[in-house]
Amino acid sequence: MLMALGITLFYIIFIWLIFFKLRVLKFNIVWGVVSLWVGAHFLLIFLVTLRFYQPFSLDSHTVRPTIQIVPRLPEPTLLSEVLVQPNTLVKKGEPLYRFDDTVFQLQVEQAQAQLVAAEQNAKVLVQDVATANDGVARAQAQLDYATAQQARYEKLVPQGGGRQDELDRWNAQVIEDTAALHEAQDNLTKAQLQLDSTIDGVNTGVAQAKSQLAQAQYFLKNTTILAPEDGMIVSQQAEPGLVVGTIRLGAIAAFVTNEQPYMLATFRQQNLKFVRPGQEVEVALDLYPGEILKGKVKAVWWATSQGQFLPSGRLPEFVLPRLPGHIAVEITFDAPDAQLIPTGAHAAVAIYTGGAKSFEFLRRINIRIYSFGNFIRPLDI
């Protein structure tokens, strides 16, 4: 808009000089129509060229990655300490919040005791196999003795050297000892299966106890939340006494990283016809009136919410008229000091596509007028 007004004002001054000040030509109705027709096309050429080859956006803001701070605790837990001050830079790994760890410390101790018991049980399984082997040997010896006695009486009874009831008794004993041997063999198989129940060579009971201990230690560790990156918490709302855990669904704070900020500027879709990554950019931050920062186009975000449909049982609904959504352009720029540029800072952005270079000076004038205008705009003294 400022550029259009500037071009119009320049043309009016030019007409005033030619027809009224210097009187090079005499103004009449014909010259008036010609001047108006030429002026309109003159303005149109400049505006169309600037619009496509040097697009300009006032909807631009600085962006930094933010990380949602969400406690990873399995049950309601009391926040006992807040270890970070708002708007204060902290390093990665520094503690931010500490929760009451009484329950989680007890769970770790319980899991450690269960692990020791599981390791002892694994040793007992070895002895169970040895005992079962002895049981099989004992049952086999008893069966062998009973079988030998059975064979002896089977020879003596027909010759009158033994009684029939003794033979019957040894026949029953062989059957009983055979069953006892089978039972002892089954016990050995069970003991051996329990001993052989391993994962990567570790008894399953021990492995289960180790995993339970690791889980308990994980939750104990998470009673202290550490800074995920270099950065700061801007708005500190969490205070001691806050209860978090399964009853809380959202984050307790937003952590703004200290990474180099980038600019996200939106443009009308037709203005991006010639915009490509790597092109020169000038940024006029409202925070620094009178200064122009240099940058580059990193990427064009070729998507808008109008092209997204969420899964549902409803058919798409189209309402006309519907204005076309703007397209965002990601811009990296040379910040003088990353700490002095807040997240969300507003700016004007001009992209120079490399085409129509003879018109670039107009856009450069335009963005500098905007930057210096920030000294007095807005007029709310």
Residue 181 structural domain: 105-209
Diameter over CA atoms, the chain: 163
- Residues of the chain above pLDDT 90, percent: 32
DSSP conformation class of 316:
P
Residue 2's pLDDT band, with cuts at 50, 70 and 90, is: low
Distance CA 221, CA 241 (A): 20
User: What pLDDT was estimated at residue 36?
Assistant: 67
Last residue within a domain, chosen from 143, 175, 209 = 209
Structure confidence by residue, pLDDT tens digits, 144-185: 888 888 888 777 767 776 677 777 787 888 888 888 888 888
| Average pLDDT over all residues of the chain | 83
Last residue within a domain, chosen from 149, 179, 209 = 209
193-198 contacts, C-beta under 8 A, 24 or more apart: 194/125, 194/128, 195/125, 195/126, 195/128, 195/129
Residues 272 and 289 reside in one and the same domain: yes
Residues 122 and 199 reside in one and the same domain: yes
pTM value is 0.69
Structure confidence by residue, pLDDT tens digits, 182-204: 888 888 888 787 777 777 878 88
Q: How many domains does the chain have?
A: 4
Residue 246's pLDDT band, with cuts at 50, 70 and 90, is: low
User: What pLDDT was estimated at residue 1?
Assistant: 46
Structure confidence by residue, pLDDT tens digits, 27-82: 667 666 666 666 665 666 677 788 889 999 999 999 999 998 888 888 888 999 99
Instruction: Report residue 183 as tokens.
Output: 């039972």
Residues 181 and 149 reside in one and the same domain: yes
